[in-house]
Amino acid sequence: MAAESLDRELDMNLPQLISGIGRKWYIFAGIFGLSTALSLLAYLNQTDSYTSEAKILVKPSQTSSLSGLNQPGLEDIGDIKSLGKTSDPVVTESEVLRSNPLAEKTIKALRLQDEDGAPLKLRDFSEKLVVKEIPGTDMLRVSYESENPVEAANAVNQLISLYIQNNVLDNREETSAARVFWSSSCPNRACRPNHRV
């Protein structure tokens, strides 16, 4: 019974509601026009932003196998391992990518500039650079945001290139140090690793 009276009330009020809206149509049209104009203005004032992204696989050091330290009893020497319980090699490599020396070299190599034409500051470069660990993997995601798509792509490519060069130099130094160690501690060929008698 109550439902029937509610239906009748709605049926009676619906024509009144429509006629009320018809009399005040200019208010609704004004609200619609204002919201459309504000949305269009916000859209037109947006600046284009481009993001370039790359992924890097963090591999363990192969120095132990190159130097022969992968022999029984020596397997753990040269492996990437945490020094503390809370440290993580992938996080360490992400910090290397965010480091000031790599950022400075990237800025100089690409001659990155701010809006005034001055060389880009480290702080500004760091704000545009994002380095994140990909959960469950030994990979890092590197991205750079810029209003210029070519600059964004070049910044990521240059930074990764410098990171790889840095790793190659580090690996060469480790291999050289291992060679010097074996040469000095084991002068005769019989005690050198992988030596066949």
Question: What is the C-alpha to C-alpha distance for residues 152 and 37, in angstroms, rounded to an integer?
Answer: 32
Q: Is residue 106 part of a domain?
A: yes
Q: Are residues 138 and 76 in the same domain?
A: yes
Same domain, 62 and 151: yes
Provide the Cα torsion 59, 64, 65, 68; round to 10°.
180
- Residue 196 resides in a domain: no
How much is the pLDDT for 62? 58
Same domain, 89 and 147: yes
How open is the CA angle 176-181-185, to the nearest 5 degrees?
155
Q: Residues near 129 by Cβ (< 8 Å), separated by ≥ 6?
A: 98, 103, 142, 143, 144, 155, 159
**pLDDT for residue 65:** 56
Check whether residue 37 and residue 58 sit in a common domain. Answer: no
In this predicted structure, what is the pLDDT of residue 197? 47
Are 11 and 73 members of one domain?
Answer: no
The dihedrals phi and psi of 49, each to the nearest 5 degrees, come to: -135, 130
In a domain, 197, yes or no: no
Contact 16/9 with Cβ under 8 angstroms? no
pLDDT at 144: 95
Q: Same structural domain for residues 133 and 153? A: yes
What pTM, to 2 d.p., does this model score?
A: 0.62
Whether residues 71 and 35 share a domain: the answer is no
Cα–Cα separations (whole angstroms), residue 139 to 41, 89, 144, 165? 41, 11, 17, 18
The pLDDT tens digits along the chain (197 residues) read 566 666 666 566 767 777 777 777 788 788 889 999 999 888 888 878 899 999 999 876 655 555 555 555 545 544 555 455 567 788 888 899 999 999 999 999 999 998 898 999 999 999 999 999 999 888 999 999 999 999 999 999 999 999 999 888 877 777 777 777 767 776 665 555 555 54
Please report the sign of the dihedral spanned by the C-alpha atoms of residue 182, residue 186, residue 188, residue 191: negative
Query: Are residues 79 and 30 located together in one domain of the fold?
Result: no
Q: What is the pLDDT of residue 6?
A: 60
Domain span at residue 25 reads 2-44
Residues 79 and 55 in one domain: yes
Same domain, 36 and 69: no
Q: Does 13 reside within a domain? A: yes
Domain count, the chain: 2
Let me know whether 83 and 148 are in one domain: yes
Residues 170 and 82 in one domain: yes
Burial (CB count <10 Å: 0-12, 13-18, 19+), residue 188: exposed
